[in-house]
């Protein structure tokens, strides 16, 4: 009789759905926070003492940053950061080959050219060596993505930023709460952009925030995000031409309320993640991201498992994920491919995005070894699964052990 759920057996991790709270989490106080803003009739931040301002201060403080500028989503957070540091038409910005497309599309949206650097397949973080190989006299900035919440190697990247006089923008969409050597991400580089979209560790459905420690960059970002107006000065005086990136007060009210849980959730996910990683390392074939003592806190968007089919009788990653899903573990494959393989980077689809004579890289010919290897092996679990604590980690481990023990059933 079959043992694996995929072949008709019982589900090993059936109880996960009972232990792991549905995401996003809310309670009566969150509901009241939204209703309070609705009843106040102050739905836009253009008032003194706005909710957006309160949220900016709370979030910046938690991330050990001096300033926060709340925006409509994580994509425009990156656009705002790029514009603020002065990235513009024809500049090159180095981005990692494995990330969500917004990391690269934010670059093209400000008229600059995304250049893909390879990643380290053991950490999913941008490779400093590859950054350096891709620097030209047009390079203006690097976007370091703390992919899955795993911080980039600041010890290697920051000296390059300094040496070549570049800007470092941190893409922290996955990394609420992550720390490098005791310092929260977001304002270790010049600016950091967070997403507050529904699947993220802090959310109001949509939303974003930019952090910085620079007085000058904060002031400039505020101006750019408010269509050239100075916050707090009423009326129609616009000092520069720019767009409207503002977050609504309804979202800001909800975010303030959601902030009650962030610290505790980050701690719990960190602990569960460490526990799960240590258990997985003993099974074989399912490696977590490499342990690095400099990462003093791991925020999570994904818990990543690097699947080694060679240790499970060459059962494909896709079949392994299907078997995990059948056991009740909601595993996925991240974004599925290096970014340069997306249709958006095909020659014909780049027409109209960049001028014809710009000599845009032939993205579709790229094959970066670290990115290729990482994407072949990547299996992802959503961050909220870690809120189930050790009990949820034990169920995931049991499901994987069961698949490994009965891997013969997956050979046919
Ligand atoms: C790495 C990364 N950067 C940027 C974004 C963009 O954020 P948003 O969806 O809020 O625009 C995301 C969203 O998933 C992301 O994962």
Predicted pLDDT of residue 231: 86
Q: What is the mean pLDDT of residues 45-63?
A: 96
Q: Does the pLDDT value for residue 27 go beyond 90?
A: yes
For 167, phi then psi, to 5°, come to -105, 140
**Model confidence band, residue 250 (pLDDT cutoffs 50, 70, 90):** very high
Q: What is the best residue among 93, 192, 195, 203 to mutate for testing ligand 1's pocket, by most ligand atoms within 8 Å of CB?
A: 195
**Model confidence band, residue 47 (pLDDT cutoffs 50, 70, 90):** confident
Lining ligand 1 with CB less than 6 A are 73-75, 99-100, 102-103, 145, 171, 173-174, 195, 197, 208
Predicted pLDDT of residue 15: 97
Give the pLDDT confidence of 270-311 residue by residue, as tens digits: 999 999 999 999 999 999 999 999 999 999 999 999 999 999
Residue 165's SS3 state is coil
Q: Report CA(142)–ligand 1 centroid distance (Å).
A: 17
Angle at CA of residue 274, ends 269 and 279, nearest 5°: 125
Predicted pLDDT of residue 2: 83
Predicted pLDDT of residue 412: 78
Q: Are 140 and 114 in contact (CB under 8 A)?
A: no
Q: Whose CA is nearest to atom 7 of ligand 1?
A: 74
**Active centre residues (catalytic):** 100, 171, 174, 197, 200, 229, 236, 246
258: DSSP letter = H
Domains of the chain: 5-22+261-410 (3.90.1150.10), 28-259 (3.40.640.10)
CA atoms within 13 A on the CB side of 275: 19
330: DSSP letter = -
Give the pLDDT confidence of 74-94 residue by residue, as tens digits: 999 999 999 999 999 999 999
């Amino acid at each position: 009789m079959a043992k694996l759920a995929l072949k008709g057996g019982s589900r090993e991790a059936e109880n996960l759905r009972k232990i792991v709270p549905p995401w996003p989490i809310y309670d009566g106080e969150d509901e009241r926070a939204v209703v309070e803003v609705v009843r106040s009739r102050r739905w836009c931040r253009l008032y003194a003492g706005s909710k957006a301002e309160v949220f900016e201060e709370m979030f910046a403080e938690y991330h050990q940053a001096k300033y926060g500028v709340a925006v409509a989503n994580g994509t425009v957070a990156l656009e705002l950061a790029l514009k603020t540091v002065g990235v513009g038409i024809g500049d090159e910005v180095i981005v990692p080959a494995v990330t969500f497309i917004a990391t690269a599309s934010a670059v093209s949206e400000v008229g600059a050219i995304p250049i893909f650097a390879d990643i380290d397949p053991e950490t999913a973080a941008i490779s400093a060596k590859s950054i350096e190989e891709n620097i030209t006299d047009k390079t203006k900035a690097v976007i370091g993505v703390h992919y899955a919440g795993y911080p980039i190697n600041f010890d290697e990247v920051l000296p390059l930023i300094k040496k070549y006089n570049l800007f470092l923008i941190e893409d922290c969409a996955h990394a609420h709460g992550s720390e490098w050597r005791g310092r929260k991400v977001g304002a270790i580089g010049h600016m950091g952009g967070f997403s507050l979209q529904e699947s993220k560790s802090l959310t109001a459905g949509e939303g974003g925030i930019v952090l910085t420690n620079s007085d000058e960059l904060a002031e400039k970002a505020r101006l750019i995000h408010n269509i050239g107006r100075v916050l707090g000065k009423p009326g129609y005086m616009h000092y520069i031409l720019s767009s409207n990136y503002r977050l609504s007060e309804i979202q800001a009210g909800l975010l303030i309320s959601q902030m009650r849980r962030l610290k505790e959730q980050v701690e719990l996910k960190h602990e569960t993640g460490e526990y799960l990683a240590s258990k997985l390392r003993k099974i074989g074939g399912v490696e977590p991201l490499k342990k690095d003592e400099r990462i003093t806190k791991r925020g999570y968007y994904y818990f990543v498992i690097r699947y080694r089919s060679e240790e499970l009788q060459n059962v494909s990653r896709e079949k392994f994920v299907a078997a995990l899903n059948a056991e009740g573990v909601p595993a996925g494959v991240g974004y599925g491919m290096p970014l340069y393989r997306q249709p958006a980077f095909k020659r014909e689809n780049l027409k109209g995005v960049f001028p014809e004579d710009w000599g845009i890289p032939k993205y579709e010919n790229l094959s970066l070894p670290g990115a290729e290897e990482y994407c072949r092996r990547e299996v992802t679990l959503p961050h909220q699964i870690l809120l189930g604590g050790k009990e949820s980690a034990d169920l995931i481990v049991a499901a994987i052990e069961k698949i490994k023990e009965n891997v013969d059933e997956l050979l046919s």
